[in-house]
């Protein structure tokens, strides 16, 4: 098996190193990751200027672009052999609920799917980042059992792992994304010249976080596995829109 | 009605001006848009540093951030009154098929939805940008007839308008996103110092572009209206993942 | 006469428009300026990726780069005819004393000089920007009388104009750069996540600002004109360094 | 002695590591360097948003800003104790002749001088970067013999070291900056969408590179030491400008 590994925390992030070390036990691993922390980059793709890829001392490629750029570049020309699967992570911090839309980790996996490959995003649900090893073990176990080719072609797996020792995991759970309340207000402050500047405020509190959601699984120390679309069409609303357009 | 208008081409873009001019006939319009072209920004949100908002001579706010930043900032603190709806556009160029995931225009609408508001992304399907007026008229007509509150809470509308005079429109069609073949390879070239650099290659050719898709509608001069999720959970795959996890 | 006009406040800045309007009365004027505010860019030159130049509705070129990039690009290939002189400005705010080293306006002029042309940087010494017209009139008067070719080849003129009506100017004065006390400490604050961030503090107070300095001239409503090197060699220290190296 | 060490190639650059290793033998060393390669940043200073400083595993601080930002932040608040001297380098590649104005390495040293400290910029004159150790030894030797306090207050030393083994150095030479011919034209090419983009062209060939210049010293395997102003006033042109202003 040949794995393309990327992330959004940058090629020097400990979560990336930890996962790379685990994966080389079972596969050929190519690492192509951003030069610096690009958390929050979402699916942004660089079209305005060309990208550079350099090889670090440890054999990882680093690219002056987004996570999406890294995966795109790797698969469409940088690597000599196409990977069998794309894995993004281990992200430092959870990617749960509504927040996945902003995530560079999830975006890296999505880009793999767009380019025809099975893809998994792996996040460690704890800013402390104490137990990357747990997430690495979980990923190995998923890879061992997973038949990625059996997943629908436009689906990726969003895996969140509790930040606890592996023996304290409660199990695995298939989940849906939970939801948050509206974000907190922006924080208005001033620069030293007295001009107003605005920090994006904190995410809203969890509002839909009961059993079945990824929030709930993590809170109870389950590994949360959420299948995500890469086709954004809301098929169930098509009839409603059609009906409504007939009146225009 | 109070409308928040944004885009990803920047606050000086002709498509934005054209739509603002049309909308003020029917609503209070606040414009908050990026300082410069941020096409391809997707849903990226700026968390690493604070944002600035300035008011241009024409009353538009411009922000040194992404489209998502603009909508987030506007709704969570910059504007005195909350809007009733968020409209993003008129984008110069189509946002069809797989490409919507990269779009800053679609992301601006999504951010509105995350913050609790109905939202529409409007794009003119032609790089020439000859008929923004057509897209503006279409938007007015949708607003007149649309009961946005009747759409599911986690849905936005992705509207693409053919770049033709309004009288040449063939009608309106509810569509699903089409799909493209895998993207073209990156284009490897050199900088003047002989170092390799890589341009992201062209999108793949249309592969799933038959009747019912947005590609097909536009090709036939229909206004294409695609309902999009903002909840990325692939519900139909949940059982499959659950079954599969029982074996782990 | 053919003038290349640039600035660091961006191609939409009122100071640029005001000066362009004045200069077209006496010369062919090409404007090539940054896409957005690049104050503080100093002489930075973009080598890592290619630049784009677009033409705005008013005929100004705007470039996605620094002031130095703009002048470099204009002279080495963008413009069909080489200019006779490079003018940068009118900057909103003074460029006096030690601060000139950070200035994108001064850097734009320097780049002109490096490329073989006489060059002038023009700044309005007042953040209010009330009297750009005064600085425009001053520039015209300098151009009328100036024989730029008579200046030494490695010299540019740094012109600061008091922000007062033209009839309140006290005259013209050749000045040296004044000096400031050490800058104020950085301002340590926190982002919304509790992480420390640092704003660069205010410039130091004027310390060497007596008669003969640019600070003094401006304070007394004189137009301050300071000749600046573009050759940074400190010739007067060469003997000292030589003597000292003999002991190594 | 307490040394502040910075650079413009980024905190992971081998030239920085090599010099840090040498300097700790003789002094307390604080390293504060940019997060990524910022070559060509010149003296640009970040005023529009706050900076972040993080500590890497090896004790180096890295900052999401320019070389000038790093030195400014370090001296005006980040470090608990003020350094006695600022050293920037070892840069990968020469900083000779007219190019010093663009250099982030030279700018880092200048910023130290502005803030009241003696300062030295050290560059290895060879892109191969084969002999950083030579430049480190040269720096140690300069520090041993140098009385930086005896240099004029507005002077820094720009040191370029041939990329050869230390035993092949021909000696030390006090030099002036040489000059180049005008830069080569920009290289016009196209992005994949057919839009024109422009690469800044190569520097001009050496034109003033005879005995006494830094170009000449390096070519002959001498360590080149050029004293540079940080006061840009061209004093020798003041009379000329004064005379000329009397006619206005």
Render each residue's pLDDT in chain D as its tens digit; 248 residues: 999 999 999 999 999 999 999 999 999 999 999 999 999 999 999 999 999 999 999 999 999 999 999 999 999 999 999 999 999 999 999 999 999 999 999 999 999 999 999 999 999 999 889 999 999 999 999 998 876 666 777 899 999 999 999 999 999 999 999 999 999 999 999 998 899 999 999 999 999 999 999 999 999 999 999 999 999 999 999 999 998 888 87
β-bridge pairing A206-208 and A187-190: unpaired
Judge whether D25 and D33 are in contact, CB under 8 Å: no
A15 within domain boundaries: yes
Paired with D225 in beta bridges are D159, D174
Tell me which of A111-115, A147-151, B95-99, B104-108 is least confident: A147-151
Residue with tokens 């695995």: A172
Choose among B48, B191, B201: nearest Cβ to D192.
Answer: B201
Model confidence at B153, in pLDDT bands (50, 70, 90)?
confident
pLDDT digits (tens, 9 = 90+) for B167-200: 999 999 999 999 999 999 999 999 988 999 999 9
Measure A229 CA to nearest chain B CA, in Å.
5
CATH number, position D169: 3.40.1210.10
D190 within domain boundaries: no
Paired with B170 in beta bridges are none
Highest mean pLDDT among B153-157, C235-239, D134-138: D134-138
| The dihedral sign for the CA sequence A159, A162, A163, A168 | negative
Judge whether D6 and D33 are in contact, CB under 8 Å: yes
β-bridge pairing D155-162 and D85-92: unpaired
pLDDT recorded at residue A94: 97
Judge whether A89 and A123 are in contact, CB under 8 Å: yes
| The dihedral sign for the CA sequence C31, C34, C35, C39 | negative
- Rounded distance between C-alpha atoms, residue B215 and residue D76, angstroms: 58
pLDDT of A148 > 80? The answer is no
Judge whether D7 and D13 are in contact, CB under 8 Å: yes
Order of strands across the sheet with A222-229? Answer: A53-55, A61-63, A28-34, A2-6, A85-92, A119-125, A155-162, A222-229, A171-174
pLDDT recorded at residue B149: 60
Q: What letter would DSSP give residue D156?
A: E
**Across B120-135, average pLDDT:** 96
pLDDT of A38 > 90? The answer is yes
pLDDT of A55 > 80? The answer is yes
**Which chains are adjacent to chain B, needing at least 3 Cβ pairs under 8 Å?**
A, C, D
Inter-chain residue contact C192 with A187, CB threshold 8 Å: yes
pLDDT digits (tens, 9 = 90+) for A90-109: 999 999 999 999 999 999 99
What's the farthest any 2 CA atoms get from each other in chain D?
64
**Across B124-149, average pLDDT:** 90
pLDDT recorded at residue A248: 79
Measure C157 CA to nearest chain A CA, in Å.
28
- Rounded distance between C-alpha atoms, residue B86 and residue B82, angstroms: 10
- Rounded distance between C-alpha atoms, residue A111 and residue A87, angstroms: 11
Provide, as residue numbers in chain D, all residues whose Cβ is less than 8 Å from the Cβ of C35.
none
**Tokens at C244, concatenated:** 């000292």
pLDDT recorded at residue A44: 95
- Rounded distance between C-alpha atoms, residue B45 and residue B114, angstroms: 13
Paired with D175 in beta bridges are none
Give the residue from D197, D196, A74 showing the smallest Cα distance to B183: A74
pLDDT of C101 > 90? The answer is yes
CB half-sphere exposure, C224, CA atoms < 13 A? 30
How many residue contacts between A and B have a Cβ separation below 8 Å?
Answer: 243
**Across B57-84, average pLDDT:** 97
Q: How far is CA A58 from the centre of its chain?
A: 23
**Across A118-143, average pLDDT:** 96
pLDDT recorded at residue C193: 87
Judge whether C174 and C214 are in contact, CB under 8 Å: no
pLDDT recorded at residue A154: 86
- Rounded distance between C-alpha atoms, residue D69 and residue D86, angstroms: 13
Inter-chain residue contact C196 with D116, CB threshold 8 Å: no
From residue D37, alpha-carbon distances to D16, D17, D59 in Å are 12, 14, 19
pLDDT digits (tens, 9 = 90+) for C206-231: 999 999 999 999 999 999 999 999 99
Count the Cβ atoms, other than its own, within 10 Å of residue C34: 27
Residue C9 in marked binding region: yes
Choose among A49, A192, A202: nearest Cβ to C201.
Answer: A192
Q: What b/e readout covers D125-142, taking b as 16+ CB neighbours within 10 angstroms?
A: bbeebebbbbbbebbbeb
Residue C214 in marked binding region: no
- Rounded distance between C-alpha atoms, residue B130 and residue B142, angstroms: 21
Angle at B104 between CA B217 and CA B95, to 5 degrees: 10
Give the residue from C54, C145, C63 showing the smallest Cα distance to C104: C63
Measure A52 CA to nearest chain D CA, in Å.
12
pLDDT of C50 > 70? The answer is yes
β-bridge pairing A206-208 and B28-34: unpaired
Measure A50 CA to nearest chain C CA, in Å.
7
Q: Is B21 helix (H, G, I), strand (E, B) or coil?
A: helix
First to last CA, chain C: 54
Measure B89 CA to nearest chain C CA, in Å.
20
Count the Cβ atoms, other than its own, within 10 Å of residue C239: 11
Backbone angles phi, psi at A121, to 5 degrees: -105, 130
Choose among B48, B192, B202: nearest Cβ to D187.
Answer: B192
Concatenate the DSSP letters of all residues of D193-230 into one string.
Answer: TS-EEEE--PPPPEEE-STTBHHHHHHTTEEEEEEEES
Provide, as residue numbers in chain D, all residues whose Cβ is less than 8 Å from the Cβ of A190.
none
A145 within domain boundaries: yes
Which residues neighbour A163 within 8 Å (Cβ) at sequence distance 6 or greater? A124, A125, A126, A128, A129, A130, A131, A134
Q: Is C40 helix (H, G, I), strand (E, B) or coil?
A: coil
Residue B39 in marked binding region: yes
pLDDT of A122 > 90? The answer is yes
Domain containing residue C29: 2-179+207-246
Q: How far is CA C146 from the centre of its chain?
A: 18
Paired with C172 in beta bridges are C223
Model confidence at A119, in pLDDT bands (50, 70, 90)?
very high
Count the Cβ atoms, other than its own, within 10 Å of residue D143: 18
β-bridge pairing B28-34 and B2-6: parallel
Inter-chain residue contact C78 with D240, CB threshold 8 Å: no
pLDDT recorded at residue D127: 84
Judge whether C121 and C95 are in contact, CB under 8 Å: yes
pLDDT recorded at residue D154: 86
Q: How far is CA D109 from the centre of its chain?
A: 6
Provide, as residue numbers in chain A, all residues whose Cβ is less than 8 Å from the Cβ of B47.
39-40, 200
pLDDT recorded at residue C58: 94
pLDDT of A236 > 70? The answer is yes
Whole-number percent of chain B with pLDDT over 90: 91
**Across A212-228, average pLDDT:** 98
Cβ-in-10-Å burial (0-12, 13-18, 19+) of D188 comes to middle
Which stretches within B24-145 are classed as H helix? 67-73, 104-114, 132-145
A194 within domain boundaries: no
B212 within domain boundaries: yes
Choose among A98, A147, A238: nearest Cβ to B114.
Answer: A98
Provide, as residue numbers in chain C, all residues whose Cβ is less than 8 Å from the Cβ of D242.
174
D7 within domain boundaries: yes
Which ipTM did the prediction report?
0.92
Give the residue from C103, C178, C86 showing the smallest Cα distance to C139: C86
Inter-chain residue contact C48 with A52, CB threshold 8 Å: yes
Provide, as residue numbers in chain D, all residues whose Cβ is less than 8 Å from the Cβ of A47.
191, 193
Judge whether B111 and B68 are in contact, CB under 8 Å: yes
- Rounded distance between C-alpha atoms, residue D95 and residue A138, angstroms: 50
Count the Cβ atoms, other than its own, within 10 Å of residue D6: 33
Backbone angles phi, psi at A82, to 5 degrees: -75, 140
Provide, as residue numbers in chain D, all residues whose Cβ is less than 8 Å from the Cβ of B199.
191-192
Give the residue from D36, B44, D34, D35 showing the smallest Cα distance to A38: B44
Give the residue from B139, B82, B137 showing the smallest Cα distance to B112: B82
Residue D91 in marked binding region: yes
Which of C46, C49, C186, C204 should be substituted to probe chain A, the one whose Cβ sees the most A Cβ atoms within 10 Å? C49
Count structural domains, chain D: 1
- Rounded distance between C-alpha atoms, residue B92 and residue B7, angstroms: 10
C141 within domain boundaries: yes
Angle at B64 between CA C72 and CA C18, to 5 degrees: 55
C51 within domain boundaries: yes
Paired with A122 in beta bridges are A159
């Amino acid at each position: 098996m040949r794995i393309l590994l990327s992330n959004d925390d940058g090629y020097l992030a400990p979560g990336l190193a930890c996962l790379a070390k685990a994966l080389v036990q079972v596969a050929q691993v190519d690492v192509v990751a951003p030069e610096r922390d690009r958390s929050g980059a979402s699916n942004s793709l660089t079209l305005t200027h060309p990208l550079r890829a350099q090889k670090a001392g440890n054999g990882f490629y680093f690219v002056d672009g987004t996570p999406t750029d890294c995966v795109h570049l790797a698969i469409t020309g940088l690597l000599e052999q196409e990977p069998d699967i794309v894995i993004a992570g281990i992200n430092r911090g959870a990617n749960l609920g509504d927040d996945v839309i902003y995530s560079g980790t999830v975006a890296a996996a999505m880009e793999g799917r767009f380019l025809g490959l099975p893809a998994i995003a792996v996040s460690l649900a704890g800013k402390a980042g104490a137990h990357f090893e747990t997430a690495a073990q979980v990923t190995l176990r998923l890879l061992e059992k997973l038949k990625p080719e059996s997943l629908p072609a436009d689906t990726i797996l969003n895996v969140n792992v509790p930040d606890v020792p592996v023996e304290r995991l409660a199990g695995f759970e298939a989940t849906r994304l939970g939801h948050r309340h509206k974000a907190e207000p922006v924080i208005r402050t001033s620069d030293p010249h007295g001009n107003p500047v605005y920090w994006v405020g904190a995410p809203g509190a969890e509002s839909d976080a009961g059993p079945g959601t990824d929030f709930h699984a993590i809170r109870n120390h389950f590994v949360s596995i959420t299948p995500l679309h890469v086709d954004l069409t809301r098929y169930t609303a098509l009839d409603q829109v059609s009906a409504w357009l007939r009146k225009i």
